[in-house]
Amino acid sequence: MAARLISYLFSHSLSRTSASVSLGRKYGLGRGIQSFTTAAVVEQPITPPIQVNYTKLVINGQFVDSASGKTFPTLDPRTGEVIAHVAEGDAEDINRAVSAARKAFDEGPWPKMSAYERSRIILRFADLVEKHTQELAQLETWDNGKPYQQALTAELPMFVRLFHYYAGWADKIHGLTVPADGPHHVQVLHEPIGVAGQIIPWNFPLLMFAWKVGPALACGNTIVLKTAEQTPLTALYVAKLFHEAGLPDGVLNVVSGYGPTAGAALASHMDVDKLAFTGSTDTGKIVLELAAKSNLKPVTLELGGKSPFIICEDADIDKAVELAHFALFFNQGQCCCAGSRTYVHERIYDEFIEKAKARAIKRTVGDPFKQGIEQGPQIDSEQFEKVLRYIRSGIDSNATLECGGERIGSKGFFIQPTVFSNVKEDMSIAQDEIFGPVQTILKFKDIDEVIKRANTTRYGLAAGVFTTNIDTANTLSRGLRAGTVWVNCFDVFDASIPFGGYKMSGIGREKGIYSLNNYLQVKAVVSPLKNPAWL
């Protein structure tokens, strides 16, 4: 069974009729890569351009130009060419959006309507997304560069699943009645926090939209969301679908723009009650400081990572190679939780290196709209150059370049799958978040040693363990300082599984029941009992 599962990871040979039931299992985004049984393929390449209809800001239920009239280009990572020009929001547009969200929260129907009705609107939205899955997948691939098949069969179904999940929570959020020491009746109410500011990244635009917007709406809040400037298109599209589903005006406002202008204005806005940010650790520090200096709004941060993936000596090497490859190279290596430090036991190290190299060389890179492609381009020229600098750094540090290390072609932002061996902890490729298709492989001797080395990092987002020994799995799982530990799997992102990091990988958790706490206030209501005899 396990051998079949590994062979399915990147299979492109089965019927696409299973797309609606796979729920992203092929990419570990639904029930996990251990449970999928079939995968979908694209029978014919999709060739953009598709029609781009939504490029303006969404404020108070309307698509509007930016106050300045400025626009910025969003680019096709395959070519570097312009897809569309998008309204460039700045501080004035954030003011307009926050004002609309505040009015919708204070005076509008959303926080006051029944939780059941909120649930129905969110479900109607999810149904509309399902009807527009192909267009959204095309748009996500065109703007981001991820394989179309990944967007279509994994990320869009998971997006829908997340909103079904949060719709189910909307009418199940309730308070408590607690006993008091004296003659008092005590209620604990869980109320929406107010206007939520949300800033999402470019690597998973739709999924990060769902992680942020889903729980905020389920709890009855209103939202101002800033998209990443590299990938604004799908958030604008689904905002239109939300209003078609009946979401009241002003509840969801979307501002596209740059971090130092729109992002900073949102983080520091005095009338934003809560802030959620996903992105780099360095930017997260700035966001936290801006929020603290304004009105001390609570902040959740999902930040960077340098996740260890530990291959123990009892591992089936072929399966371990495939899983470690997936853990690092998925989504062009542009995952905050990527297994970017592969620790391999010394007894199997040499064999693992040869097979990891062969697997990376075999990886298919190219136009993400074409059938059979596993890896598309990096997001933009800045990220492309950053990855190449880290590759040069690895070479200069005397790590062994086993394969890759170069760009592919002369157009777009494609990089060869790259593998380094003989990597040491003090090398920048072992310490810094590269965010690209660069696998660094380190050697270890025993469990205590690898736990200590794996924890010697400023990050603590995730970790992976590959072993057949339950005692080893338990020891590593408890010893690793990370918010998620995947054992004999990786990148399993079920809607109910909380996600977040230790140390400089962030504050708070997203997904699951824990995400609701980010968008609720707790209020105690105390009143005297007239007849204490009934106590």
Residue 385 known to be catalytic: no
Average pLDDT over residues 244-263: 98
Superfamily of domain 308-487: Aldehyde Dehydrogenase; Chain A, domain 2 (3.40.309.10)
CATH 3.40.605.10 domain span(s) along the chain: 50-302+506-521
How would you label 68-79 residue by residue, b for 16+ Cβ within 10 Å and e otherwise? eebbbebbbbbe
Q: How far apart are the two ends of the chain, measured CA to CA in Å?
A: 60
Q: What is the DSSP letter of 263?
A: I
CA distance 460 to 301: 13
CATH 3.40.309.10 domain span(s) along the chain: 308-487
pLDDT band, residue 40 (cuts 50/70/90) = very low
CA distance 10 to 326: 9
* Nearest CA among 390, 372, 510, 495 for reference residue 438: 390
Which among 88, 140, 155, 302 is annotated as catalytic? 302
- Which residues does residue 415 pair with via DSSP β-bridges, in sequence order? 407
Please give the CATH architecture assigned to the domain spanning 50-302+506-521: 3-Layer(aba) Sandwich (3.40)
CA distance 301 to 483: 13
CA distance 67 to 403: 49
Please, what is the angle between helix 317-329 and helix 349-362, to 10°?
Answer: 50
CA distance 417 to 360: 6
What is the percent of the chain where pLDDT is above 90?
Answer: 89
Supply the pLDDT for residue 531.
Answer: 76
Query: Is the pLDDT at 42 greater than 50, yes or no?
Result: no
Q: What count of residues does the chain have?
A: 535
Supply the pLDDT for residue 48.
Answer: 63
CA distance 110 to 208: 22
Q: Which amino acid is residue 228, in one-letter code?
A: A
Q: Is pTM, for the whole model, over 0.85?
A: yes
Supply the pLDDT for residue 47.
Answer: 61
pLDDT band, residue 411 (cuts 50/70/90) = very high
CA distance 75 to 72: 10
Q: What are the DSSP E strand ranges found in 76-165?
A: 82-87
Supply the pLDDT for residue 50.
Answer: 81
pLDDT digits (tens, 9 = 90+) for 483-535: 999 999 999 999 999 999 999 999 999 999 999 999 999 999 999 998 766 55
Give SS3 for 36: coil
Average pLDDT, the chain: 91
- What dihedral do alpha carbons 262, 268, 271, 273 form, nearest 10°? 110
Give SS3 for 203: coil
